[in-house]
Amino acid sequence: MQGIIDLHHDIFFFLILILVFVSRILVRALWHFHYQKNPIPQRIVHGTTIEILRTIFPSIIPMFIAIPSFALLYSMDEVVVDPAITIKAIGHQWYRTYEYSDYNSSDEQSLTFDSYTIPEDDLELGQSRLLEVDNRVVVPAKTHLRILVTSADVPHSWAVPSLGVKCDAVPGRLNQISISVQREGVYYGEGSLTYGFQAWREAKGLDFTYDQISGQQ
């Protein structure tokens, strides 16, 4: 997520420079070519130099933007070789199922739980509408995590904008993403694909702390 923020700031800096440059040209043209100052304007039908410049420079700017953008995209697709924790997120209509795969064994009950959106009538003071869930995913901060995303019925999407991640949950297919949270907090996300009347209410609450991993809020 920090790379996305840095790229946004860098691109926005150059956008400000372009805005100032174009605004200066526009204001200068309006000032010097006013009808009172120049009632008989000079008619120029060809300007080879300016036409070449206005074609080359706008084509070079996207190239400078594309180089760091592609580097960021490829770095986001890199999979952590040895993640500390692997969590499987299974999408269902109107709720999610989370499974801590590293803690499942044949002798013990699997660490799996369902996460439902809290109805509006049951919300407590300070809780976010359509974002709070009854069971949050609790994982340690400053740790490399691997999220396996799939679906049990229809296509879904596992997205947390605050972390800069979004992954499609397709039935019969297992996708994976890697995240690394640098500070503690509660991060919210909603399903980005709408299937059914209440599918857009699929909310996820993720709690990143240093505490012991738990399946409860």
Alpha-carbon distance 160 to 175, whole Å? 15
Residues 6+ apart with CB under 8 A from 14: 61, 64, 65
CA dist list (Å): 145 to 73, 79, 179, 196: 18, 10, 5, 31
Flag whether pLDDT at 16 surpasses 80. Answer: yes
State pTM to two decimals.
Answer: 0.67
For the chain, report the end-to-end CA distance as a whole number of angstroms.
24
* Angle value at C-alpha 188, between 130 and 196, nearest 5 degrees: 45
Q: Regarding beta strands 203-209 and 185-190, do their DSSP bridges make them parallel or antiparallel, or are they unpaired?
A: antiparallel
Superfamily of domain 85-211: Cupredoxins -  blue copper proteins (2.60.40.420)
Flag whether pLDDT at 215 surpasses 90. Answer: no
Flag whether pLDDT at 188 surpasses 80. Answer: yes
Domain with CATH 2.60.40.420 in the chain: 85-211
Flag whether pLDDT at 7 surpasses 50. Answer: yes
Residues 6+ apart with CB under 8 A from 143: 84, 85, 180, 181
Q: Which residue has the tokens 């605050």?
A: 162
Alpha-carbon distance 79 to 81, whole Å? 6
Which pLDDT tens digit goes with each residue over 78-94? 776 778 888 899 988 88
Residues 6+ apart with CB under 8 A from 99: 87, 88, 90, 110, 111, 112
**pLDDT band, residue 104 (cuts 50/70/90):** low
Instruction: Write down the pLDDT at residue 44.
Output: 65
CATH class, domain 1-77, is mainly alpha
Alpha-carbon distance 154 to 168, whole Å? 11
Domain with CATH 1.10.287.90 in the chain: 1-77
